[in-house]
A and B are shown apart, each in its own frame.
Chain A
Amino acid sequence: MHKELVDLINSNIPEAKAVFNEATDPKADASITVEASSILKLASWLRTNDHMPFNVLQCISGVDYLEYMEVCYILAHFDLNTPRELILKVKLTDRVNPNLDSIVEVYPAADFQERECYDMFGVSFNNHPDHRRILCPDDWKGFPLRKDYVPAKDYNGMLVYPDNKMNFEDREFIVRQNMIKKAQEKASES
């Protein structure tokens, strides 16, 4: 199904430059990678075309690969005869300030999903009707699900890690701190 769809996308929207990603594992799913600049046009085509329409947006999520940021869309079509699901991936080369077109006007379900993606990964969506944080407080600093995120020491005077309640010599804690440090170094290199 994915291979068929790649050909369809490339013939209808050539600027999307769709690439088919084979599933590397029998348990994994195949996916399609497209260009970030074409996402709005592609989404409206995917929703309205006659060959293979997708009328449901199930999920938008972000992935931090340290060298680049990736946004995944999971689209689906609930048809009794031919139910199908598509994993659409968009690679964003600017990791620090990723930027992408919003698809809210095509799929209204994208509203909260994009806000969550912005909240957790800092991906900003152009032309989003209500572009602010959804889970964290409005005055929160940083984007928590990025690999190089360091938890703040305090928030509005409340200590996140009070000294009298923490065991800073705990092995797992040190391992975690080292992981964050390594990720930060890697992010600053790239």
Chain B
Amino acid sequence: MQDGVVLTTVDEFLNWGRKNSLWPMTFGLACCAIEMMATGAAKYDLERFGCGAFMATPRRADMMIVAGTVTLKMATRVKVLYEQMAEPKYVISMGSCSNKGGPYWQWGYHVLNGVDEVVPVDVYVPGCPPRPESLIEGVMTLQKKIANERLLRNKWVKHA
């Protein structure tokens, strides 16, 4: 009888479920996307963390990995994609370009200096491009962040 009973809080149970099924959006902007694909492939296997199911539509995705240079032309689209995602939603900014403009931050006339100008970012992954291990570290950081969330008192649920 003792083995059949598990005691936990509702928050922890919900967070456990959510953090282990983070579905990212299939969405790459530049060379960082190649590292993101490598992370999703067999050798680094993002599926171990429950986020290997790259969704082809923003409406099914929980997380957006902004992998690459965000040009001004693309920034409008990135914003639209973020707004189309269902809440709760998270953003990982991957690589120097989407963190802060990268090599274009001073001379680039066409590059947004950091994707946080248009969408709120949860985790920044530095590197140019970051190795798959770095991206996995970023995903695990996001999982820790989700584990400490209180969904039922969260702004999204309150105002829903």
Question: Residues of A at under 8 Å CB distance from B?
Answer: 136-137, 144, 149, 151-152, 155-156, 158-162, 165-166, 170, 172-173, 176
Chain B residue at smallest Cβ distance from A172:
B106
Indicate whether A165 sits within 8 Å of B110 (C-beta atoms), given known contacts A137-B73, A155-B72, A156-B76. Answer: no
Indicate whether A176 sits within 8 Å of B107 (C-beta atoms), given known contacts A136-B73, A158-B72, A158-B75. Answer: yes
Give how many A-B residue pairs fall within 8 Å (CB-CB). 39
Chain A residue at smallest Cβ distance from B72:
A155
Of the candidate stretches B1-9, B31-39, B113-121, B133-141, the one touching chain A is B113-121
Which chain B residues border A165 with CB–CB below 8 Å? 100-101, 105, 113-114
Which chain A residues border B107 with CB–CB below 8 Å? 176
Q: How far apart sit A152 and B117, CA to CA, in the bound complex (Å)?
A: 16
Which chain A residues border B112 with CB–CB below 8 Å? 158, 160
> With an 8 A cutoff between CB atoms, is B156 at the interface?
no
For this complex, into which size category does the number of interface residues on chain B fall? 10 to 19
On whether the beta carbons of B72 and A160 are closer than 8 Å, the reply is: yes
Which chain B residues border A137 with CB–CB below 8 Å? 72-73
Please report which residues of chain B, range 56-75, place their CB below 8 angstroms from some CB of chain A when the two chains form the complex: 72-73, 75
Q: How far apart sit A137 and B75, CA to CA, in the bound complex (Å)?
A: 11
Q: How far apart sit A173 and B105, CA to CA, in the bound complex (Å)?
A: 11
Cβ distance A10 to chain B, nearest Cβ, rounded Å: 42
Since A149-B109, A170-B106 are in contact, a sample of 7 more A-B pairs with Cβ atoms closer than 8 Å, ordered by chain A residue number, is A144-B109, A151-B109, A158-B72, A158-B112, A158-B118, A159-B113, A160-B72
Q: How far apart sit A144 and B114, CA to CA, in the bound complex (Å)?
A: 21
Cβ distance B37 to chain A, nearest Cβ, rounded Å: 25
On whether the beta carbons of B109 and A159 are closer than 8 Å, the reply is: no
Cβ distance B117 to chain A, nearest Cβ, rounded Å: 6
Chain A residue at smallest Cβ distance from B107:
A176
Q: How far apart sit A166 and B117, CA to CA, in the bound complex (Å)?
A: 13
Cβ distance B87 to chain A, nearest Cβ, rounded Å: 23
Please report which residues of chain B, range 7-27, place their CB below 8 angstroms from some CB of chain A when the two chains form the complex: none
Which chain A residues border B118 with CB–CB below 8 Å? 158
Chain A residue at smallest Cβ distance from B117:
A158
